[in-house]
């Protein structure tokens, strides 16, 4: 296999945004390894995706303990490719992981106890072959563990040098506000919040985005293309190889309603007017908000990844375009 030589001009065309009130900048697009990097996937395809992303100036790679399938295999495969292809480039990358969902059997492999979070990160570091991750997230709130314990574990992880920064994912406004205060008082402020956010999923606009702006915490939306609905994939029905058609996918066929298809088609027409694909417009729509540090994208093919990256050629919207989008979404 030919030795990988990164594109020497990779930093020239990417946009980098400061993450909250920190010294860290993230690429405007980050590559998520939620899908397409497990043992069920081709490691050669995973390698191509990582190289394509890095060559385009994407520096942030987002994982979690349970990504695969099977759980843990995405971290293992990323660790292997990191060692073979990206040797000597670790300091040019921001690598994140998370814990908070079910990972192993018994009472210590889920949610938000100190026992679980610290054990899980130790396992993740072992799979990744790293001494530390750049960002470690609590993946979801735990209603049964005191928030002070969960945030204390994140603080301890930074004190131990196992993570440089900490973040939260899937926390609603009230939960996030309490967590931010605890972390700030401990001396390990929250760097970034990762919520589900797209044109179709907008709960974050009910106060969370304002809180992030006020507290100077970065925002990195996941599922920005609504599991593929905000692409051209479903304009003519449900393809056999699509995520909606696969029983193990998170997007179900009943989400592809006539109402949603009508909106997708109208949005696609507007994207054409902007000389963008629907996916590019959906990503640009999130990046128009300066409180959004980076948008987390996924891809199963390099062509999809390249299409998403091209959104950066036009992330400006006229007032008329924004009104059109709102009218379509509210119709």
Nearest to 142 by CA among 111, 117, 167: 111
What residues contact 118, with CB distance under 8 A and at least 6 apart? 153, 156, 157
Kindly tell me if the per-residue pLDDT of 86 is higher than 60: yes
Q: How far apart are the first and last CA of the chain?
A: 52
Which pLDDT does position 1 carry in this prediction? Answer: 58
Reported as a single tens digit per residue, the pLDDT across 55-64 is 999 999 999 9
Reported as a single tens digit per residue, the pLDDT across 123-179 is 999 999 999 999 999 999 999 999 999 999 999 999 999 999 999 999 999 999 999
Kindly tell me if the per-residue pLDDT of 2 is higher than 90: no
In percent, the amount of the chain with pLDDT more than 90 equals: 89
Q: What is the pTM of this model?
A: 0.94
Kindly tell me if the per-residue pLDDT of 245 is higher than 70: no
Q: What value does the mean pLDDT take over residues 285-293?
A: 97
Q: Which domains does the chain have, with CATH numbers?
A: 16-228+290-298 (3.20.20.100)
Kindly tell me if the per-residue pLDDT of 15 is higher than 90: yes
What residues contact 140, with CB distance under 8 A and at least 6 apart? 100, 101, 112, 169, 170, 171
Nearest to 277 by CA among 253, 254, 309, 246: 309
User: Angle 114-128/147-159 helices, nearest 10 degrees?
Assistant: 40
**Strands in the chain per DSSP E:** 16-18, 25-27, 29-32, 60-62, 94-99, 133-138, 163-169, 192-194, 218-219, 295-297
Which pLDDT does position 247 carry in this prediction? Answer: 46
Q: How far apart are CA 237 and CA 223, in angstroms?
A: 20
Kindly tell me if the per-residue pLDDT of 292 is higher than 80: yes
134: phi then psi, degrees, rounded to nearest 5: -75, -40
Task: Sort strands 16-18 and 25-27 into parallel, antiparallel or unpaired.
Answer: antiparallel
Contact 61, 93 (CB under 8 A): yes
Reported as a single tens digit per residue, the pLDDT across 23-64 is 999 999 999 999 999 999 999 999 999 999 999 999 999 999
């Amino acid at each position: 296999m030919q030795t990988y030589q990164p594109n020497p001009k990779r930093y020239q065309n990417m946009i980098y945004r400061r993450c909250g009130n920190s010294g860290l900048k993230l690429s405007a697009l980050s590559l998520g390894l939620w899908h397409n990097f497990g043992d069920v996937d081709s490691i050669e395809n995973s390698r191509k995706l990582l190289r394509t992303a890095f060559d385009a100036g994407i520096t942030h790679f987002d994982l979690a303990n349970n990504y695969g399938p099977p759980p843990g295999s995405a971290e293992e495969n990323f660790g292997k490719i990191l060692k073979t292809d990206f040797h000597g480039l670790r300091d040019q990358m921001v690598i994140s992981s998370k814990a908070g969902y079910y990972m192993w059997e018994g009472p210590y492999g889920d949610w938000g106890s100190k026992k679980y979070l610290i054990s899980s990160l130790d396992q993740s570091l072992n799979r990744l072959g790293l001494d530390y991750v750049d960002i470690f997230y609590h993946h979801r709130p735990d209603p049964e563990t005191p928030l002070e314990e969960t945030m204390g574990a994140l603080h301890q992880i930074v004190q131990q040098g196992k993570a440089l920064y900490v973040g939260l994912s899937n926390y609603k406004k009230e939960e996030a506000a309490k967590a931010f205060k605890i972390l700030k008082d401990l001396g390990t402020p929250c760097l970034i919040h990762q919520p589900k956010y797209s044109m179709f999923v907008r709960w974050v606009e009910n106060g969370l985005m304002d809180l992030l702006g006020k507290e100077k915490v970065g925002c990195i939306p996941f599922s920005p293309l609504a599991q593929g609905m905000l692409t051209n994939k479903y304009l003519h029905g449900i393809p056999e190889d699509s995520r909606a058609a696969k029983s193990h996918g998170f997007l179900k066929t009943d989400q592809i309603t006539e109402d949603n298809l009508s909106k997708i088609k109208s949005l696609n027409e507007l994207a054409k007017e902007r000389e963008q694909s629907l996916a590019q417009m959906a990503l640009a729509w999130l990046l128009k908000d300066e409180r959004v540090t980076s948008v987390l994208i996924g891809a199963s093919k390099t062509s999809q990844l390249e299409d998403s990256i091209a959104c950066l050629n036009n992330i400006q919207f006229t007032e008329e375009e924004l009104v059109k989008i709102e009218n379509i979404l509210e119709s």
